[in-house]
Amino acid sequence: MAERLHRYVYLTASFPYLMLFCLLMRGLSLPGASLGLDKVWVDAVTQVFFSYGLGVGALVALGSYNKYHNNVYKQALTVCCVNSGTSVFAGFVIFSFIGYMAVQQGKTVDEVAQSGPGLLFLAYPSGILQLPYTNVWSILFFCMVLFLGIDSQFCTMEGFFTAVIDEFPALIRGRRHGREMFVL
């Protein structure tokens, strides 16, 4: 079981980077992409802080599984750098498409970017429409969103779940895949 979970995590963690890279290459080639890139920095830094989920306890729960003499400073720095880099990278991708959408709609980038959290479902699909084999890319995009949602949910629930298992270990012991089924 653990072997399958490791393979699932490798797939769901690396697949979004591949998708984002493909979308970035296409987004940067569209007219108006540079208009959106001016706004990336503020929104990317804001996203960095939200993506840590500091109040949820997931990072503390995941850190509790480390070995006692593990180099936690190195791991913490690695997690922070990868998280920050991913947020900035995703910001470049989405704002290149927002710049393109602004040119297409004859609006400013700020007007297009006011859509809020639903912007993901406006900017990326408009970029996917610019790619060949739109149906394949659409399926891959929504699989990526599903994978990211499941991975995020596992991490978010890990803080809560670790506390419950530490307090009531009999709830999970003896149950096959109990932790995973609870999260799903």
Closest CA to 56 of 153, 173, 184, 181: 153
DSSP string, 116-154: GGGGHHHHHHHHHTTSSSHHHHHHHHHHHHHHHHHHHHH
Please give the annotated binding residues, written as ranges: 51, 83, 148, 151-152
Tell me the C-alpha to C-alpha distance, in Å, between residue 141 and each of 50, 110, 146, 163: 22, 25, 9, 34
List the binding residues for Na(+): 51, 83, 148, 151-152
Contacts of 51 (CB under 8 A, 6+ apart): 83, 86, 87
Helix (H, G, I), strand (E, B) or coil at 82: helix
